[in-house]
Amino acid sequence: MFLFLFFQQKKKVIGLESILLPKSREEFNDIYCVSELMETDLQQIIKSDQQLSLDHCKFFVYQILRGLKYIHSANVIHRDLKPRNLLVNSNCDLKICDFGLARAVPDMKANDLTDYVTTRWYRPPELLLSWTDYTAAMDLWSVGIIFAELLKRKPLLPGSSSSDQLLRIFDLIGTPSEIEINMIPYEEYRKFIKELPQRPARPLDKVFSKAPADAIDLISKMLTFDFNKRITVEQALQHPYLSDLHLPEDEPRREQVPFYEFEFEQYSNLTRQQYKDLVYEEILLYHYPEFKKQYLDKIQKNQSVMQHIFQNANKNIVDEEFSEDDPYQ
């Protein structure tokens, strides 16, 4: 599904204004999505000469976490948080965008998701070490790196390869303990780390010399090697550093994404036409309430929303019933 449809109209997630309706299933070759206008992104701000106060940094981090709380509450992991995917307007309002790598996962634990995930510089150690069982904690690592970049105005860990990225991480937070190393699922990675010289953690108050102590403490809790001990988004919002911004009643949650919204991920042999049909019907959901009602009824009954596409059934029925008139023309 289009996750920005699911997260629509929430302040810290990019809003979708419209999806243009194709003339027909047969003529459908392009997708045109209209989102709200945001002037820039956090990457451009970090690279610019524009002055950023500590209050600016705090406000941006709070907004990221506020949006992430909403996303995680739906049992969704973003998996590609980086400054470029954080849009900002002239009022310093921030919106999370680009859900192309996001996944809905039960119990916030992803199993066997080995496809491409977040850009290397923002990738947590569990992904660099090929864990296939990972959690929403991966997003918190990315937020910690982004927070650090806001403070330093440059990349914190610009690794040139996966192994170089790991070495840079260990240079910052220290070599993992023996217990942590033994948790790593692959022997070759355990061997690689055990053969490295022992590195102590660098004092973060020296790395971020101008940052307040509570900001440094929050970063340290985000950049924790053991993802089971890494701070959660709820805990991060309750951290003393954000106490002047934290307002629980204004930090919304979302019901969990139903399994069948991501049913397509269970199939690895979909044809190009089947993918096209799936996307086409997603667009119909946006435009036709009755079609959306039928779709949601199936989900509520734990019925497949894709079976008719596999069987090439109901195709003409869907088109005849919902494609004659564009409600927006």
* Sign of the torsion formed by the C-alpha atoms of 39, 79, 282 and 8: negative
* Amino acid symbol at 45: I
Contact at 8 Å (CB) between 50 and 232? no
User: Is 250 noted as a catalytic residue in this protein?
Assistant: no
Exposure string for 42-68, b = 16+ CB within 10 A, e = fewer: bbebbeeeeeeeeeebbbbbbbbbbbb
List the catalytic residue out of 30, 41, 49, 80. 80
User: What 8-state DSSP symbol labels residue 154?
Assistant: S
**DSSP H or E stretch at residue 220:** helix 213-222
Task: List, in sequence order, every beta strand (DSSP E) within the chain.
Answer: 16-19, 33-35, 40-41, 76-77, 86-88, 94-96, 103-104, 109-111, 133-135
Residues serving a catalytic function are 80
